[in-house]
Amino acid sequence: LVTTDCSHPNVLKSELSDVVVPDWTICEMLYPKLELYHKYTAVECASSGKSYTFGQIRMKSRNFSKALKEKLKLKKGDIVAILVKNIPEFGIAAYGIFEAGLVVTTLNPAYTPDEIKKQLLDSGARAIITQASDFCKVKSALEIMHSQIPIIVIKEKQADSIPSGAIDFFEFADTVINVPDIEPGHTSDLAFLPYSSGTTGLPKGVELTHNNIVSNIFQFNHKDVSFLNPPTDNFQDVIPTVLPLYHIYGFTAGTVNSAYNGTKSVTLDKFSPELFITVLKNHRVTVIYAAPPLILFLTSHQDVKKEYFKYVKMVISGGAPLGCLDEQRFTDKVGSHVTITQAYGLTETSPLVTWFPKTYAKNENGGCIGKVVPKTYVKIIAPDDPTGTPLGMNQSGELLVKGPQVMRGYYNRPEETEKSFLNGWFRTGDLGHFNDEGCMFITDRLKELIKVKGFQVAPAELEELIRSFPGVDDAAVIGIPNQAHGEVPRAYVVPKEGFALNVEEIKEYVAIKVTKYKQLAGGVQIVDTIPKNPSGKILRRLLKQNYKEKGI
């Protein structure tokens, strides 16, 4: 990893001591911990109170892995989709898939059948796990793609019935199959395939290996960075798991890292102010992983009281920018005993790139996303500089990353993979700089990606959809600033000659096809042309600038 390139004085490295990453698969890393913490509660559903201990998760995921191999005859490397809300069974399903040598791809449970179809087709998933309430949606997605892959259904309530033709998740997880345990695979095997649009284009499968995830867990848990304590009979860290588990942030922080540390995760299957407040009141919450909208909610909601933060030591915001004023307002409300910090990561980097060493976990560098985690190199380069020369302190440019957590590539997309690296450095598409203390700041996004409440929205996906609307000749989508959501998508649409387009009809058309946060909440503007460069690339900066200056 250490090349002359990385030794350049402008390349940022961690000041922390190095971490040794063992040659383990995710299960080799986690299972000894699940056994060690077997008697403690691993996960509890905030609404129903249903819970599992670490020991139960270990046993059920082992059963589940054997059933996937023996009963469904899935083969090493096959992809298994999980489409569930934040429910306590998520870990059992995911670890079972890993143990069987298979690959997890997660889908947003709010997806429409069209969106589900796209990811299932792209990933070639061989089975799907869902919950009873989403069965019909999954079934219609499979029908429109003429697929008959097995559907494994998790009953949410005892009274739920398993639809005909579906498989009962609990029958798999609760039945012991008397065959030898499955041999662990190789650490370089593909483990997790979440979807991200990267810097451009449609959502793509991000190939994360066991080693990528294990490395990031070790980078997370450096002794000078980690703030979680192992459980004892008198104390256990408690984290409300409200960030979606299908997304890399919720997946790593809410599932894998919680299991690694013996932390109790209280899962919220939906976000509602009442439910979140109930969790704060009734559980001794010690840490909160958040995206900026959750911080704004905690700061501004009148029913969120300072006393609910009695045991909270750490609140981490990530996924989208959080201003220093927002950090300060949060501290003013909940008290300075709660440290609020920001961390920065991407799906493509498993996810963590920067994070706060304990010594920095103060508000001295408001708005800062932290310092580089161990075993990682970051450089800032002038956008489009083909030489990749690292810029110095306080110079703004694109942030590039090198480290063991960086993805192998985009699934079945060699060209996109190649474009996302520059001489072995991963291009984040984010614009930022670092200061004289090596603290990083993200100031803008060079890439097309729109982030609504921290969720990814790929403009290309919406543009493709709008272009399929009768009478539309061309379309461009940008993100515009929004107080509550960070950004929302706004469309510019060119009608075909002789067509009069109805803005409301376009909005409705999009609303039916895609999930809620992707809808055109920023409006639709009918225009004569879309500004493009000579090679046909949409000039989104120009559209953004126009919107900023003229509101159109």
Closest CB to ligand 4UW among residues 185, 367 = 367
Nearer to ligand 4UW, 61 or 347 (CB): 347
Q: Please give, one letter per residue, the 3-state secondary structure of 59-76.
A: HHHHHHHHHHHHCCCCCC
* 314-317/287-290 β-pairing: parallel
**Contact between 38 and 267 (Cβ < 8 Å):** no
Helices 292-300 and 324-334: crossing angle in degrees, nearest 10, is 40
Q: Provide the mask over 119-138, with x wherever binding to ligand 4UW is found by CB under 6 A and - wherever it is not.
A: --------------------
Rounded to a whole number of angstroms, the minimum distance from the CB of residue 76 to ligand 4UW is 27
How many residues of this chain interact with ligand 4UW, rule: CB under 6 A? Answer: 26
The answer to whether residues 306 and 334 touch, using CB atoms and an 8 Å cutoff, is: yes
Q: How far is the CB of 448 from ligand 4UW (least distance, A)?
A: 11
Tokens representing 531 are 């500004």
Strand partners, 207: 409
CA separation for the pair 346, 457 (Å, rounded): 14
Cβ 293 to ligand 4UW shortest distance, Å: 13
Give the interface segment with ligand 4UW, choosing from 114-122, 138-146, 337-345, 376-384 (CB under 6 A). Answer: 337-345
- Specify the residue, 345 or 403, whose C-beta has the smaller distance to ligand 4UW: 345
| Single residue of 222, 445, 513, 518 touching ligand 4UW by CB under 6 A | 445
Q: Of 135-143, 340-348, 373-381, 493-501, which part binds ligand 4UW (CB under 6 A)?
A: 340-348
| 204 makes contact with ligand 4UW (CB under 6 A) | no
**Strand arrangement, sheet containing 472-482:** 472-482, 486-495, 524-526
Q: Min. distance of Cβ 534 from ligand 4UW in angstroms?
A: 28
Cα separation of 244 and 85, whole Å?
A: 7
Of 78 and 348, CB closest to ligand 4UW: 348
> Shortest distance, CB of residue 340 to ligand 4UW, whole angstroms?
12
The window from 171-179, 244-252, 278-286, 474-482 that contacts ligand 4UW (CB under 6 A) reads: 244-252
Contact pick of 112, 130, 131, 196 for ligand 4UW (by CB under 6 A): 196
For residue 445, the one-letter residue type is R
Smallest distance from ligand 4UW to CB 253, Å: 4
Count, residues in the chain: 552
Q: Is 228 in the site for ligand 4UW (CB under 6 A)?
A: no
230 Cβ contact partners less than 8 Å away, ≥ 6 residues apart: 37, 261, 262
Rounded distance between C-alpha atoms, residue 94 and residue 110, angstroms:
19
Contacts 24+ apart (CB under 8 A), 139-144: 139/163, 140/113, 141/113, 141/114, 141/116, 141/117, 144/113, 144/114, 144/117
Integer distance in angstroms from the first to the last C-alpha of the chain?
47
By the rule CB under 6 A, 315 interacts with ligand 4UW? no
Candidates 88, 319, 459, 486: give the one binding ligand 4UW (CB under 6 A).
319
Question: Contact between 368 and ligand 4UW (CB under 6 A)?
Answer: no
- Is residue 345 close enough to count as binding ligand 4UW by CB under 6 A? yes
What are the strands of the beta sheet with 41-45, ordered from one edge? 51-53, 41-45, 264-267, 238-241
314 binds ligand 4UW (CB under 6 A): no
Closer to ligand 4UW by CB, 190 or 399: give it.
399
Cα separation, 190 vs 185, whole angstroms:
10
In the bound state with ligand 4UW, the residue whose beta carbon lies nearer, of 432 and 522, is 432
Q: Least Å distance between CB 195 and ligand 4UW? A: 9
Among 352, 372, 381, 440, binds ligand 4UW (CB under 6 A): 352
Which residue number places its CB atom closest to ligand 4UW? 318
Q: CB within 8 A of 504, min separation 6: which ones?
A: none
Cis ω for the linkage preceding 22 (within 30 of 0)? no
Q: Does 320 bind ligand 4UW (CB under 6 A)?
A: yes
330 binds ligand 4UW (CB under 6 A): no
Q: How far apart are CA 151 and CA 83, in angstroms?
A: 10
Instruction: Give contact residues for ligand 4UW (rule: CB under 6 A).
Output: 196, 248-249, 252-253, 316, 318-321, 342-347, 351-352, 369, 428, 430, 442, 445, 451, 454, 456
